Structure 1
């Protein structure tokens, strides 16, 4: 799987998540032509010598190979784009084009990396804002999810962690409760009025 990060102007970042499937469409077509030519060539030689039942099975193999290569090439178009701009987190998911889009308040969005209990070293990365929960990076491996989690925490949701049981990072002065995000006062989580 691959991820890339771009800076969008002075106030934002963009994370592009994509499956790491090596061959492009043209390479996939050439792989299909090469493998099906060998398979059908052997089947035709067998048919020539009287072993005609080999031909239908070879045809079935070529159809199955074509379907598998097509499904793999189509999956390579999957994208998840996370825009963190100004006070908004925008998540777009789709295959070749944007099919689904979500907007969340950047300040109140929390990033959570859950360790799944049923599978060894399997994680799930979520963006949570109010009642909305969105799973992102499902096709990433565990290390890539941890890396994305750290990168997103650096730019999303300082207010979402106030009052949480997780520790809030401290500044150089060592004051607990001091916020790591610039421009947020240490007492920003307290209610006023």
Structure 2
């Protein structure tokens, strides 16, 4: 998913993975699964099959942990801020975990075409000191949209074919 805006003379591009539901919807799905599962487990426990209750709890705990992990992974984003003099790239989940500041004059866009028609092109912003891949988690349409936005702002330094090594 690509969002872009302009504020105070800077263009801000936010790239983040697509996700079908929010954490709140995941919790509702977990509750919808937990109610009948725990009701059946309590029923069997009352009939004397007590090992079912901790296993049902373990199952729901694992499902909740998996839903949380997937939701956390989908909060990852790249924020690219383009100003007149600088390009700032922030990567992180809820807050920037890694930041690059590149001089705009020396910065170029590197585009590697897709290896498969369903894939999007691999994009990287590079300068003399840094080579930063951006949007590697995007689907084809979003990668093309990001490429279009970046090409409007940056010169394309390299546009190379995919190279494959065979041993």
Q: In which range does the TM-score fall when normalised by the shorter chain?
A: 0.7 to 0.9
Structure 1 ranges of 4+ moved more than 6 A: none
Q: C-alpha offsets along residues 65-108 of structure 1, whole Å, 9 cap, x if unaligned?
A: 11012112322432211001002111011121121110112222
Matches within 5 A, 1:30-179: 30-115=28-113, 117=115, 121-122=118-119, 123-157=121-155, 161=157
Decide whether the 8 Å contact of 1:115 with 1:121 is kept in 2.
no
Counterpart of 2:4 in structure 1 is: 5
TM-score normalised by length of structure 2: 0.80
Tell me, yes or no, if the aligned pair for 2:111 and 2:159 is still in contact at 8 Å. no
The structure with the larger Rg is 1
Structure 1 residue runs without a partner (length 5+): 167-193
Give per-residue Cα distances to partners, 1:9-59, cap 9 Å, x unaligned: 34x311011223243333333332232222211222233334444333322
Q: How many residues align?
A: 159
Question: For residue 164 of structure 2, what is the aligned residue in structure 1?
Answer: none
Supply the RMSD in Å over aligned alpha carbons: 2.4
| Structure 2 Cα separation of the partners of residues 101 and 31 of structure 1 | 36
Tell me the alpha carbon deviations over residues 84-141 of structure 1, each in whole angstroms, 9 at most, x when there is no partner.
1002111011121121110112222221232354x66334211111141111112211
| Alignment partner, residue 28 of structure 1 | 26
Report which structure shows greater RCO (CA 8 Å, sep ≥6): 2
Q: Which has the higher helix share?
A: 2
Alpha-carbon distance in 2 for matches of 1:107, 1:94:
26
Residue of structure 2 in register with 1:191 after alignment: none
Deviations 1:139-178 (A, max 9, x none): 2112211111111011113xx64xx688xxxxxxxxxxxx
